[in-house]
Chain A
């Protein structure tokens, strides 16, 4: 999908520039946007060192597990049909905790593991179970306590207060995830297209 999108962005740009006689501006922009990317990357290096270093401390100190303990009861409530001691539940909790701390690298493998375990509990192998749909929706609106990349990007773009977005982001993702869960619970009652 992204391949097509990017390709058409370039094609449309060249087409517009050619018809609007802006090809010179376009050529200039091509090189200036890439050098902007390099400048940005240099700024980003600093912020990412800071946040990834701090997050590593959080991971090693067991803070990540503390957060897991905090969300476990919530997960039990949401996923009633999944046994709370099962591997599926464990993987889901790990995935969501990693997402909350913006540890994307750790989140995806755990998420895929969770899907495998949920598939094992799924009676119809080509159709998503209620738990799978809900897990994906919860995953689609992660409550990020530390959006490290965004914070670094803001700092390197000269923000005087990069952290101003943290609390609003937590609130809006909480709103998103609540709406998603409610929608899921309502739609699964209508059987949500189960064949």
Chain B
């Protein structure tokens, strides 16, 4: 699977080149935006690493994970990933901070690290999106939206766990 990133980059650049895009100039333009985005998200990551770090070193996180243990055991989810699963529907930047914490502590290529990365890239911040999108046009009755979005979220999680357990980490 290590070919996947170079191949994606090559394909995009070749396509751009053939279409007459000034690939170097455009890359620079995008990379500059990347710097700005990183600076924008860094305070969120910092705040969340602070919160999670404090919760962990105080013993509070262990206590919460202890309460959730029957659930995580039954679902076959590593405990370290639970804070991400809880945060993801609420806040994307908060979840990114928690993902950073998991990758730092468990290792990016560990079971927990890979599962957390998949969860982070496959679900959206449903509560945030629903609030902002419906709020912007003044909808009060959202009907079945939340129920269906939660079903989607849980299905994605189950699929991620199954893929990790039976394909990536056999």
B159 contacts which of A1, A63, A167, A175 (Cβ < 8 Å)? Answer: A175
- Shortest CB-to-CB span from B96 to chain A, Å, is 6
Interface size on B, residues (CB 8 A): 101
- Shortest CB-to-CB span from A47 to chain B, Å, is 8
Which of A70-78, A79-87, A140-148 lies at the binding interface?
Answer: A140-148
Let me know if B51 and A13 touch, CB within 8 A.
yes
Let me know if A180 and B121 touch, CB within 8 A.
no
- Shortest CB-to-CB span from A172 to chain B, Å, is 4
Let me know if B144 and A193 touch, CB within 8 A.
yes
| Bound Cα distance from A194 to B87, whole angstroms | 30
Q: Could you say which residues of chain A place their CB within 8 Å of the CB of B71?
A: none
- Shortest CB-to-CB span from A163 to chain B, Å, is 4
Q: Could you say which residues of chain A place their CB within 8 Å of the CB of B143?
A: 127-128, 133, 187-188, 192-194
Most chain A beta carbons < 10 A, residue from B4, B39, B56, B57 = B57
| Bound Cα distance from A137 to B143, whole angstroms | 12
Q: Could you say which residues of chain A place their CB within 8 Å of the CB of B21?
A: 57, 60-61
- Interfacial residues of chain B within 68-88, with CB under 8 A of chain A in the complex: 87
Let me know if B152 and A140 touch, CB within 8 A.
yes
Give 1 or 0 for each of B109-128: 1 = CB within 8 Å of chain A CB. Answer: 10001100110111110111
Give 1 or 0 for each of B41-80: 1 = CB within 8 Å of chain A CB. Answer: 1100111111111111111100100000000000000000
- Interfacial residues of chain A within 148-190, with CB under 8 A of chain B in the complex: 149-151, 153-154, 157-173, 175-180, 183-184, 187-188, 190
- Shortest CB-to-CB span from B20 to chain A, Å, is 8
Q: Could you say which residues of chain A place their CB within 8 Å of the CB of B60?
A: 12-13, 15-17
**Assuming A13-B57, A178-B155, what are 16 further A-B pairs, CB within 8 angstroms?**
A1-B91, A13-B51, A15-B58, A32-B53, A48-B37, A49-B31, A49-B34, A56-B26, A111-B129, A116-B137, A137-B145, A141-B149, A150-B120, A154-B103, A165-B117, A195-B141
